[in-house]
Amino acid sequence: MSPLGTSPLPRLQWALASARRMRSPLIELLARELAPSEGRAQAVLRIATACSITVAIAMVFQIPEPTYMAYIVFLISKDESSATVTAGVGAMLAVTLAVVLNLGLLLIDTAEPALRLPAMALATFVGMYSVRTFALGPISYLAGFLVVLVQTLVDDIPNPEVVTRLALWTWVVVLVPIATIVTLNLAFAPASRVLLGRTWRRILSELESGLRSRISRADLARWREAAVPLLSKLNEAAARGESHLPVSPSGVERLLEVLTILEVLPEKRPGDADPKLPAEIALQRALARMYEALTKSSGTILDGESRPAGPPAQAEPPKHKQLFVPDAFSNPAHWQFALKTTLAVMVVYITYTLLNYPTMRTSVVTCFFVALGSLGETVHKLTLRVSGAIIGGLLAGICIVWVLPHMTDIGQLCALVAVVAAGAGWIATSSERLAYFGMQIAFAFFLGVLQGYAPATDLSLLRDRVAGIVLGNVVITLAFSLLWPESARTRLRTALVQALRAVGDLLVAPEKAGESRIRAAQALVQSQHYSELSAFELQMLPAEANRDTSALEGVRRVAGAAFVATSDAFTSLPDIRQSQISTARSATEQLRSEIEHATAKTH
């Protein structure tokens, strides 16, 4: 039966969808991000188990820094086994490089702050600069972070031999959690093909439910956000010669086409089409046929069977990867980003050193992990980190006062760690809108509870570590808002212009329609991402948020009109195609000029 039917069940689903939309945006976000999904419970179980095993090993063998050992599990764990192995190998290369560099630096700067401070600043700058410009940036970034972290310990441990031993222990501190989570993921984590099938089934299932009830613009943006990386991974798999894929790349391209065409329809239940608008009814009928063809081409995938959907589409040969990004040495934003982070790291280090509060070293960690490309991204992560630190700190304080005094062995501690890690892991396995909140809860909790090899009793240590997180967030936010501020709105406008260019290419060169549609969909996903981040900038930068939001909505409608005009599903509707072509062409030029004018005005 067509998903646009009007039986009692779809009307009930429409009523439930209407009730969900009446909730506040925050509640709606939490309900969507924390909802159970296929495979999520297993991923959380792997994280909780790995944390417990790591803590047990750290306590039995008295390995330094059990806090960071447990937190590394969250950093390395990925959805699929191959991604976890890749992250683990990269981290081990980074820590090996960091150990070698630290041993060399400790020979010359242990008793010389005049050498140690420039070395810390240089390591920070190189790590942050390379993460944006270098192909192996994540490895050099992590190595720079570990170098700086060990260098900050020199003031607390004046004995050079102890500092050297601690630098050598860094390798073990990173190795144990990586070996644990990689082993668990190799044994129990799903393969990439299984995850691709899950994503495809989820999008189709939610789309079918939406077609029967009501589809909002937010739903379309969310499904498109999931479909674009799905298409990229399928193309990569096809390029590697994998033949048994849950769906062909062409099927996902067709799905993106349906999602974009839906942008031109009013935001209402499809069965409530206005009878005075025959064009709207014709569009809905054509979409119904496209959806039915889409589900039929997917075989029985909606029933949970993961089998090949025919031969994969011809994939483009993989592009040769360059060692540096094209504008690595010409774009000043790269060195400005590195310099802002370096200044923030040095400011917090000097601040807590002058105040004689070495336990506020978490401020240095915060500056490394919160620094992002734009102010909106930084403030977004600041919000998640501060709120997560408060909740995690409160949980740790409650456990220190009322739970830990009743524990007598490592097994009970591991059980407590597993419970909290499971709760934080459930949040951490959501999308990037909320994931870091769960990771910060876990980190703050580990900072408070895992203070040593005996039950934690010192609340002042927990207080200082949480205060360090707050200090780091404040300093990094000031640095990114006062020095060469990069607004997410600027990136939003750039993405909108890219979408309009793709739409223009789609109308001018229909023979390259597939490539242009993919570029338009990717630009729309980027636009939505930066639109959400721009909300976190508030009044810190000159804003024209309402204009940007209306421009995003306009570009979506123009893209939908262009997709209708060039889709083979509407060949029998020439009047509609011609009207959509006229609408798309006129609106494209107008929107492009408005966006470029707003960008020039901002600069």
pLDDT (average), residues 191-215: 82
The token pair at 596 is 């470029």
Would you say residue 281 has pLDDT above 70?
A: no
87-91 contact pairs (CB < 8 A, 24+)? 88/178, 88/179, 88/181, 88/182, 90/138, 90/139, 90/142, 91/142, 91/174, 91/178
Q: What CA dihedral angle connects 72, 75, 79 and 84, to 10 degrees?
A: -70
- The Cα 360–Cα 357 span in angstroms is 6
List, in sequence order, every residue forming a beta bridge with 324; answer none if it has no partner: 134
* 339 within a domain of the structure (yes/no): no
Residue of higher predicted confidence among 208 and 497: 497
- The Cα 202–Cα 340 span in angstroms is 41
pLDDT in tens, 4-23: 444 444 444 444 455 455 45
Residue of higher predicted confidence among 305 and 219: 219
Q: What's the residue count for the chain? A: 603
Check whether residue 97 and residue 133 sit in a common domain. Answer: yes
pLDDT in tens, 537-583: 754 554 455 556 677 788 888 887 777 777 766 555 555 455 555 55
Which helix H or strand E contains 423, and what residues bound it? helix 410-428
Of 4-18, 95-109, 258-272, 568-582, give the range with the top mean pLDDT. 95-109
Cβ pair 249, 315 in contact under 8 A: yes
Residue of higher predicted confidence among 380 and 600: 380
- The Cα 367–Cα 355 span in angstroms is 18
pLDDT (average), residues 229-247: 84
- CATH number for the domain harbouring residue 536: 1.20.120
Residue of higher predicted confidence among 388 and 567: 388
* Residue ranges making up the domain that contains 562: 488-602
Q: Which of 189, 208, 239 corresponds to the end of one domain?
A: 189
Residue 410's pLDDT band, with cuts at 50, 70 and 90, is: very high
Lowest mean pLDDT among 129-138, 171-180, 347-356: 129-138
Q: Provide the 3-class DSSP secondary structure of residue 134.
A: strand
What pLDDT score does 285 carry? 54
Q: Which of 466, 484, 502 corresponds to the end of one domain?
A: 484
Residue of higher predicted confidence among 158 and 180: 180
pLDDT in tens, 512-527: 788 888 999 999 999 8
pLDDT in tens, 412-439: 999 999 999 999 999 999 988 899 999 9
Would you say residue 314 has pLDDT above 70?
A: no
Check whether residue 196 and residue 184 sit in a common domain. Answer: no
Can you give the pTM of this predicted structure?
Answer: 0.84
Check whether residue 494 and residue 596 sit in a common domain. Answer: yes
Sign of the Cα pseudo-torsion (293, 298, 300, 301, in order)? negative
Cβ pair 206, 262 in contact under 8 A: no
pLDDT (average), residues 118-124: 95
Check whether residue 362 and residue 375 sit in a common domain. Answer: yes
DSSP 507-558: HH-GGGHHHHHHHHHHHHHHHHHHHHHHGGGTTSS---HHHHHHHHHHHHHH
What pLDDT score does 12 carry? 45
Residue of higher predicted confidence among 284 and 508: 508
Which helix H or strand E contains 359, and what residues bound it? none
- The Cα 218–Cα 108 span in angstroms is 56
Angle between helices 488-508 and 574-602 (to 10 degrees): 150
Check whether residue 241 and residue 291 sit in a common domain. Answer: yes
Check whether residue 442 and residue 533 sit in a common domain. Answer: no
* 21 within a domain of the structure (yes/no): no
DSSP 441-491: HHHHHHHHH-SSSS----HHHHHHHHHHHHHHHHHHHHHHHHSS---HHHH
- Triad 544, 549, 551: Cα angle to 5°: 95
Lowest mean pLDDT among 227-231, 275-279, 487-491, 561-565: 275-279
Number of domains in the chain: 4
Check whether residue 245 and residue 167 sit in a common domain. Answer: no
Check whether residue 170 and residue 198 sit in a common domain. Answer: no
Check whether residue 435 and residue 547 sit in a common domain. Answer: no
Distances from the Cα of 283 to the Cαs of 74, 257, 260, 450, 560, in angstroms?
A: 46, 13, 13, 60, 11
The one-letter amino acid code at 242 reads E
- Triad 86, 91, 95: Cα angle to 5°: 155
* 421 within a domain of the structure (yes/no): yes
Our measurement of the distance from residue 478's CA atom to the centroid of its chain's CA atoms, rounded to an integer in Å, reads 23
pLDDT in tens, 357-368: 998 999 999 999
pLDDT (average), residues 272-279: 47
* 507 within a domain of the structure (yes/no): yes
* 36 within a domain of the structure (yes/no): no
Distances from the Cα of 600 to the Cαs of 337, 575, 594, 595, 596, in angstroms?
A: 22, 38, 10, 9, 6
Residue 468's pLDDT band, with cuts at 50, 70 and 90, is: very high
Residue of higher predicted confidence among 591 and 83: 83
Residue 595's pLDDT band, with cuts at 50, 70 and 90, is: low
- Give percent above pLDDT 90 in the chain: 37
pLDDT in tens, 220-235: 889 899 999 999 988 8
- Give percent above pLDDT 70 in the chain: 78
Place of tokens 């506020």: 360
* 148 within a domain of the structure (yes/no): yes
Question: Widest CA span of the chain, in angstroms?
Answer: 84
Place of tokens 């310099």: 339
List, in sequence order, every residue forming a beta bridge with 134; answer none if it has no partner: 324
Please give, one letter per residue, the 3-state secondary structure of 227-258.
HHHHHHHHHHHHHCCCCCCCCCHHHHHHHHHH
pLDDT (average), residues 575-600: 52
Would you say residue 409 has pLDDT above 60?
A: yes
Residue 110's pLDDT band, with cuts at 50, 70 and 90, is: confident
* 588 within a domain of the structure (yes/no): yes
Which among 176, 82, 88, 91 has a CA at the least distance from the CA of 138?
91
pLDDT (average), residues 174-182: 96
Angle between helices 137-151 and 362-370 (to 10 degrees): 160
* 343 within a domain of the structure (yes/no): no
pLDDT (average), residues 384-391: 90
Which helix H or strand E contains 274, and what residues bound it? none
Check whether residue 165 and residue 201 sit in a common domain. Answer: no
Our measurement of the distance from residue 371's CA atom to the centroid of its chain's CA atoms, rounded to an integer in Å, reads 14
What pLDDT score does 430 carry? 92
Check whether residue 219 and residue 248 sit in a common domain. Answer: yes
Check whether residue 480 and residue 508 sit in a common domain. Answer: no
Would you say residue 97 has pLDDT above 50?
A: yes
Residue of higher predicted confidence among 181 and 290: 181
Residue 401's pLDDT band, with cuts at 50, 70 and 90, is: very high
Q: Which of 131, 163, 189 corresponds to the end of one domain?
A: 189
Place of tokens 């039986």: 7
